[in-house]
Chain A
C-alpha cells in the first residue's frame, strides 16, 4: 500500500497513523509518547486501526512497533490483515513484533495478580528492537480476570505509567458493548478514558439494513481536532476515514484547460467545453438522455485517449454499452483497449461511504482523468442522508484536488421538483456546471430540451436547445422561438418549413419585381437615348439655323453695300445728268 496518499505532513509531537482522514481529524496523528484509547464494539475495526498504526510506524516512520494480542492469536490477526497488502511478513522480521498474551482457556485463577510479567517481557523486547510504538489489543480481556475494580484500575494505571516512563506511543483498545449507547456511556473503563491523552470511539451500526461505521475523537489533550463523527470504511488497504471538512486539504490545481462535453454545440454553448477538473451535474427527469449526455463525455474523453471510469448505478455495464450503441456510441472498443472502465455500482455494497471509497480506489487504480457517475441520486438510498451529502461533497473535492473531471447525472423527479430545495443531496451548489435536461410536451410530442443552469467561470448560452438523439449520435439544434414561444420537434419542423415556403414566395416576388424594374430601367434608358438623339438633332438644327441667319445677314449687308455701290453708280449717273 502506498502511504503517500495521506496528505498530512508530519507534525512534531504526533505519530502519524497513516490512515487517510484520521491524520487529518487529529491534525497530524496520535499523541507521540502518550497513550491513546480506542473504544469500540465487536467488529468496529479497533484491531485493524491499531495494527495499521504500527505498520505505518514500522514502514515509513522508522518507528518499530509491538502488538500485544490479548484477544485474537497473532497468527489470525496477521492472516486477516493479509488482504491489505501491508507486507507484514517482511516487517515482522525486524520492525514489527507480535506478542501473544491471550489468557489460555484452561487458565486457573486464584487470588490477585498483575501485569508485571508482561511489562518485564516488553521491557526486554522494546529495548531489543528499539520499539517506539506499542499496541495493547483488547486489554479488557485480561482486566476481566481481575475480580476487583480497584485492581483493574491499578493495572491500567501501571500500564499507563510504564508507557509514559518509556516515552512509547501507546494504543490501548478496549471492547465495549455491541450497541452504540454502551460504547459511549461505558462506565467500566471510564477511568481509562480520563487517564489517557487521546480517546477515539469507534461505532459500527446498521441503519436501514446498511452497515455504517463511524469514529469520533472524544478527547485529545493539547491539540485541536475535529469533534464530529466521521464515517469510515475498511477498504482494500486498511481504514479510510472520511473527513467532511478538510482544513488541510491542498488547494486544487485550477486549470483553464477545456475539454469537450462530447457534443459539439454544447461545447460552443459553454464557451469551449467543460473545465478540466470541474464537477458537472446533469439533471433531468427519467428518460431525458442524462446517461447519453454523460456517455458522450466519456466517449469524447476516450477518443482523446484519456482514461475514464464510468460508474453506473442503474444498469449493467453491458446494458449501458448496448443502449448507447443505439445512439452511435461505440464504447465497447474503448473498454477493449482499456481506456474505459465501466463499473456497475450494483456490485458495490455498503454505506455511501463505502461507495465513495470504492469509486476513489477504482479511479486511482484505473488512473482515471475523467469520471462519470450515473446517477448520483442513488446514493442517499445507501446509508443516511447526511452521510450521502457529505459523500457527494467529498467526491467533488477529491476529484478537484486530483484534476479529475467529474460528470454526475442526477434524477429530478418532476413531481418533487418543488421540494427539491430540501433534498438531501444538495450538490447543486457544489458543481461548477449544471446542465438541465427537460421534456417539453407540445402537440402530442415529448421533446428533449437542454439548458445550462449555471457554469462557473465560463460565458454560457442562455438558450434552450433541443437535444436530438439518433443513430448518428447526439446533436443540439436551435429551438424555434417565436412570439415568446419555444417550439420543438415536429412543431419546430413545421414552423421551419412554413418559414421556408414563405421565404421562397418572397424570394420569387422579389425577383419578379427586379425584373420589372429592370424593364422600366431599360425603357427609360431607351427613352433617354431617343431624347438625347432628338436633343442633338435639335441642337444641330438650331446651330444650322443660326448659321443660316448669320450668313443671310452677312449676305444681306454685303448685298446692301454692293447695292450701294451699284446704287452709287446710279447716283453718279444721276449726278451726271
Chain B
C-alpha cells in the first residue's frame, strides 16, 4: 500500500450536537468508501477538551483536519456534500 499513503484525520466535535454526529457518520462513510484500511481518525470533543480547541484554533464545530498526506486541510461542517469534500482531500474522481 506504499502507493497509497495513510490519511490521518482529526475531527473536532461538540459533544452530542446533531451536526457533530452527522459529521462522524459522514466521515466514516467516506473513509469506508474511498480510503478502506488507510485512514486514522481521532475524534476530539471540544467540550471535554476545550484547551485543545483553543490551542489548535478550532472555533467552529464540527471541523475536520487532515494532517497527512500534506498539504493539511480544514473542512468545516457536517461533510454532507461529499464531492467538494473529496476534492478538498485530494480524493477527486481521477484518484478514486
Contacts and interface: CB of A to CB of B under 8 A. Distances in A.
A117 B14 contact: yes
Given A116-B14, A116-B46, A107 B19 contact: no
B75 A120 contact: no
Interface size class of A (residues with CB under 8 A): 20 to 34
B74 interface: yes
Contacts of B20: 116
Given A101-B59, A142-B60, A116 B74 contact: no
B59 A118 contact: yes
Contacts of A118: 53, 59-60
Given A108-B76, A108-B88, A111-B22, A116 B47 contact: yes
A250 interface: no
Nearest to B81: A110
B23 interface: yes
Given A117-B59, A123-B50, A107 B78 contact: no
A429 interface: no
Contacts of B63: 113, 117
A165 to B, nearest CB: 14
Interface in B47-81: 47, 50-51, 53-54, 57-63, 73-81
Given A109-B77, A111-B23, A114-B14, A121 B88 contact: no
Contacts, number: 102
Contacts of A116: 14-15, 17, 20, 46-47, 60-61
A11 interface: no
B9 interface: no
Contacts of B46: 116-117, 120-121
A92 to B, nearest CB: 16
A115 interface: yes
Contacts of B73: 106, 108
A145 B47 CA distance: 22
A59 interface: no
Contacts of A113: 19, 60-63, 76-78
Interface residues of B, number: 34
A121 B19 contact: no
Interface in A97-134: 99-101, 103-104, 106-118, 120-121, 123-125
B84 interface: yes
A110 B74 contact: no
B77 A111 contact: yes
Contacts of B61: 113-117
Contacts of A115: 59-61
A108 B63 CA distance: 10
B85 interface: yes
Contacts of B15: 116
A108 B60 contact: no
Contacts of B12: 117
A118 B53 CA distance: 8
A114 B74 CA distance: 15
A112 B75 contact: no
A104 B50 CA distance: 20
A409 to B, nearest CB: 58
Contacts of A145: 60, 76
Given A111-B22, A113-B61, A114-B61, A124 B81 contact: no
Given A116-B17, A117-B14, A125-B54, A107 B59 contact: no
A121 B59 contact: yes
A124 to B, nearest CB: 4
Contacts of B17: 114, 116
Contacts of A142: 59-60
Nearest to B20: A116
A360 B12 CA distance: 53
B38 to A, nearest CB: 21
B78 A120 contact: no
B53 A120 contact: yes
Contacts of B53: 117-118, 120-121
A533 B13 CA distance: 147
Contacts of A108: 73-76, 84-85, 88
Interface string A66-104: 000000000000000000000000000000000111011
Contacts of A104: 74
A107 B22 contact: no
A110 B50 contact: no
A526 B26 CA distance: 149
Nearest to B75: A108
A260 to B, nearest CB: 66
A123 B76 CA distance: 21
Most A CB contacts (10 A, CB to CB) among B46, B73, B78, B84 go to B46
B85 A117 contact: no
Nearest to A151: B19
A145 B17 CA distance: 19
B76 A121 contact: no
A99 B61 CA distance: 16
Nearest to B57: A100
Contacts of B54: 99, 121, 124-125
A107 B57 CA distance: 13
Contacts of A124: 50-51, 54
23 contacts: A108-B85, A108-B88, A109-B77, A110-B81, A110-B84, A112-B78, A113-B19, A113-B60, A113-B62, A113-B78, A114-B19, A114-B60, A116-B47, A116-B60, A117-B12, A117-B59, A117-B60, A117-B61, A118-B53, A120-B47, A121-B53, A121-B54, A121-B59
Given A107-B75, A117-B14, A121-B54, 8 more contacts: A110-B75, A110-B78, A110-B81, A112-B78, A114-B17, A114-B61, A115-B61, A116-B47
Closest 9 CB pairs of A and B: A111-B78, A116-B14, A111-B80, A111-B77, A118-B59, A120-B50, A121-B54, A116-B61, A120-B46
Interface of B: 12, 14-15, 17, 19-20, 22-23, 26, 46-47, 50-51, 53-54, 57-63, 73-81, 84-85, 88
